[in-house]
Amino acid sequence: MLKVRVPIAIAMLAGLFGILYADFGSRWKIGCHLLFMGITVLAILEFYKLISATGQYKPVRHIGVLACIALTLGEWMTYQKDLWGQSITFWSINGIIIGLTIFLLLAIHARPEAFKEAPGNIMATLFGIMYIWFLGSYLTKIAMLENKHFASEDVGIKCLLLTVVVAKFADVGAYLIGRMIGRTKLAPNISPNKTVEGALAGLLTSMAIAVVLQTQLQIPFLNWTEVTIFGLVVGFTSELGDLAESLLKRMCDAKDSASLLPGFGGVLDVIDSLLAAAPVSYVLLLLFSRV
């Protein structure tokens, strides 16, 4: 399994580093937003496939996908003040898009024979949008972070790299150490292979990698105490995100969200920890930056 996972993980990290390097110093961050858009589309299609497999709900896939694309573009536009001549808040644009999405979903089910299944289908469609796009959108918010005390430095890209690496290394530590010494089941009804020992190792790994990475990134507003706290909290929430997706798959009677990435499963299996960690990371970074 590791012989399959390691090359794919290296390829994914190399691709991420390449995009972040290209976007470093740019106020547009087009690469980050396009990457997020592509990942969101793939992940929400996997989510809708999982939900549909239960036979209880039929999410409106094309509406969900189009909404995620529009919402990602809408968020990007809120950062481009030069295009508007003024600042437009996040919900000014995306509030309209979400409203249109809801009305479209209602209109699609505006047939007497569809009334009974309409509430479940609409809720499943919207849940996918909020779970994947909304939580994940904090990654692009992190990429766009600025700090008035360090205006000449692109702290956003550094913070995004720190967030992604810390969250994923919590997974790595939990997986490797859990396989070696894990004995006590963490949540056997949700994910039988996860252990308490592995979870604790994941937290220690995330704290250690946060400190090591900070020595290289040197994010100016993070001291060593704050970066250690960051590693602990982001590592913890990333493990919760992994458990949450495991519960979702258990509910849908599926082992993986898809088989797109050998050794990992689907895109949703890769980003599950980030979906939980991103909002927490964003709030911590705002608090620590003292803006």
Helix (H, G, I), strand (E, B) or coil at 186: strand
Q: What percent of the chain has pLDDT over 90?
A: 66
Q: Summarize pLDDT for 14-31 with one digit per residue, the tens.
A: 999 999 999 998 888 999
- Give 118-127 contacts, CB < 8 A, sequence gap 24+: 120/56, 120/57, 121/57, 121/58, 121/59, 121/60, 122/60, 123/57, 124/48, 124/51, 124/57, 124/58, 124/59, 125/48, 125/59, 125/60, 125/63, 125/64, 126/101, 126/102
Q: Which pLDDT tens digit goes with each residue over 78-108? A: 887 655 555 566 567 888 999 999 999 999 9
Domain ranges of the chain: 29-144, 151-291
pLDDT tens digits, one per residue of 141-168: 999 998 776 666 889 999 999 999 999 9
pLDDT of residue 154: 86
Q: Would you say 69 and 41 are in contact if contact means Cβ atoms under 8 Å apart?
A: yes
The average pLDDT across 63-74 equals 96
What are the tens digits of pLDDT across the range 207-221?
Answer: 999 999 999 999 999
Q: pLDDT value at position 11?
A: 87
Under a CB-based contact definition with an 8 Å cutoff, are residues 36 and 139 in contact? yes
Residue 264 φ/ψ, nearest 5 degrees: -115, -30
pLDDT level of residue 188 (50, 70, 90 thresholds): confident
Digit-coded pLDDT (tens) for 105-149? 999 999 999 899 999 999 999 999 999 999 999 999 999 998 776
Query: Does residue 291 surpass a pLDDT of 80?
Result: no
Query: How far is residue 274's CA from residue 136's CA, in Å, rounded to a whole number?
Result: 7
**For residue 82, what pLDDT is reported?**
57
Quote the pLDDT of residue 84: 54
The average pLDDT across 54-68 equals 94
Looking at the DSSP bridge assignments, the partners of residue 261 are 265
103 phi, psi to nearest 5 deg: -65, -35
DSSP 8-state secondary structure symbol assigned to residue 133? I
Question: pLDDT exceeding 70 applies to what percent of the chain?
Answer: 92
Sign of CA dihedral 129, 133, 136, 142: negative
pTM of the model: 0.92
What residues pair up with 195 in beta bridges, in sequence order? 185
The pLDDT mean for the chain works out to: 90
Supply the pLDDT for residue 263.
67
Q: What is the structure's pLDDT at 224?
A: 95
Could you count the other beta carbons within 10 Å of the beta carbon of residue 89?
Answer: 9
Distance CA 262, CA 13 (A): 16
